[in-house]
Structure 1
């Protein structure tokens, strides 16, 4: 099996409300994109102008309004706000409603989404163990008729998921470090990461870790979906393309600068101090479609076959129209769709 090239859209629930996001999913399908991935945040990165609709009902609404695009989370944390059994039930239901169109993308989480509800934010090793245990429970609930499980963090007693799709929902693991990436290679159907970081992170750390995990499971990259969120700002006006990145300034904060911050107001305050050049560093900012496509092709050339585009601007309808006209045809020709 070889995973096909897919060109997707990031529906940024941190920036847009639920009705608008559902309408955007319809527009994306009409424009020829292959997938829509939704953020799952309890709180947005930015307090002013931010949004945080719940991802699970949002996917249900998107599925009802579309007929073709893949729908997934990028990413959901199945370990703090949710019991893994709740996620198993919810995504089994979504998979039964929209067969072979739903993807469960998971990660170890952000304090922004969990601490506000009284969670004690643990160190990375514990978050990783929680994720592994959660995925074990989800897999058992999807595959076994009756599940009883006593783990380090979670307990399940005499549980059955009664309504499941005929084909299991694929699970993708989001990662920015080697441990979770190896886990994706070992057990997941896909691997999710984000663009705009040091190229050596992908070539020297993440993709070798993915291959290591795949080797342990007797698989190759042809057996998993390699997805990267590609941060882009494409606009005919170069100054506008640059300024549109401003809302996403928190992404430019270093891990140390945003460590443990659970309040969007404080996150916004710290992000406001950053110069626009640093804010835009994570994005491909260009008004030239050929330059834009060339830089995206370089990312795909690292080994990614599912490119999910995240545009930072408020005018998402304009972004979709420009991408449909100027970028998607060039990309498909360049990358051999």
Structure 2
């Protein structure tokens, strides 16, 4: 049975609102909740970017059933992996074992802010391998010293280690990243419904694994408003990962997406009141073999109505597809 999640989008909502949405999403019946971990929104029109880890602590206390996950954290530039190890252990304790640490090689948008530059993708992935090794070692609760090509850890120890082992999911995009990360993590994360990625991961990974994806939708009683909102806030989505990971700020995303039209966005993102259409947009992930799909409802003002009136019937339709 496919599990369906709700995305807590830090780029489009403030922190107090996100905690309320987390509670409402649990009540609506979502199986898990993922949270973005960015320093900046993609576009100025989104208007928010609170600190994800403070929010995760609050959400862990405001909910009791749903799984929680970062989607995703980059543990190589803005954060040192030793610090991520401590943060992740604490959230796992606060959530009583409901947390999965989702990791990725990052985007310039969020990582360049600390002034360390933005390396090429090969270096980013090599750094991520070392970061995962460090995080794994520190979850033991033992004293760790690590001397790698990119990171050093000097006599570090995570003192509060959860009884429920922390599981890690890693974002992959091709054969090289699968080969690098499948041996180091439990779960696969991908932003596109690529069956070849799933097949490659399954072949490379030993043991059971979740295959976790994410898809935006724009529900609104008025389809035109839904399209306009998706265009205003999510037209950056059209650039794809190879472009989006390199752009440094919202002005760059605005420039890169200036020729993207509302109708272009509507071709990529299901928009409007038709729940069958919204649910059907998830089918490519199911056909590709994903076990978990997190829904992004675009926009802040519509979240409460979406969660109160739409989420339950939409989940029923999604679960009918998954079965």
The aligned runs of 1:51-62 (5 Å cut-off) are 51-62=48-59
After TM superposition, give the deviation of residue 70 of structure 1 in Å.
1.1
1:13 aligns with 2:10: yes
Tell me the equivalent position of 1:158. 155
Partner of 1:238: 223
Task: Pick one of 18, 22, 43 that aligns with 1:25.
Answer: 22
Secondary structure in structure 1 of the residue aligned to 2:5: strand
The corresponding residue for 1:203 is 195
Q: Structure 1's 174 and 150: CA in aligned 2 closer, same or farther, altered over 3 A?
A: same
Higher alpha-carbon deviation: 239-248 or 159-168: 239-248
* 1:186, distance to aligned residue in structure 2 (A): 2.4
Single out whichever of 234-243 and 131-140 deviates more from structure 2.
234-243
The two structures have a TM-score, normalised by structure 1, of: 0.89
CA displacement 1:217-249 (0-9 Å, x = unmatched): x33xxx011111022223343222322212011
8 A Cα contact 1:173 1:180, kept in partner: no
> What stretches of structure 1 of length at least 5 have no aligned partner?
none
SS at match of 1:301: helix
State the alpha-carbon separation in 1 of the partners of residues 294 and 276 from structure 2.
Answer: 18
Q: Is 2:320 aligned against 1:329?
A: no
Q: 2:195–2:289: 8 Å Cα contact kept in structure 1?
A: no
Give the match's secondary structure for 1:319: helix
Counterpart pick for 1:262 among 237, 248, 257: 248
The alignment yields a C-alpha RMSD, in angstroms, of: 2.0
Q: Is the 8 A contact 1:194 1:228 kept in 2?
A: yes
- Residues 131/259 of structure 1: CA separation in 2 closer, same or farther (3 Å cut): closer
Which has the higher mean CA deviation after the structures are superposed, 241-250 or 174-183? Answer: 174-183
Local SS of the residue matching 1:71 = strand
| 2:2–2:291 Cα contact (<8 Å) kept | yes
Alignment partner of 1:305 is 2:291: yes
Question: Post-superposition, which runs of at least 4 consecutive aligned residues in structure 1 deviate over 4 A?
Answer: 254-259
The SS at the match of 1:103 is strand
Deviation at 1:253, TM superposition (A): 2.2
CA spacing shift, 1:90–1:122, aligned 2, 3 Å: same
Correspondence for 1:135 = 132
CA contact (8 A) 2:101 2:168 kept: yes
CA–CA distance in 2 between the matches of 1:258 and 1:186?
27
User: Contact 2:125–2:177 at 8 Å: present in 1 too?
Assistant: yes
1:268-279 matches, cutoff 5 A: 268-279=254-265
CA contact (8 A) 1:183 1:213 kept: no
Structure 2's unaligned 5+ residue stretches are none
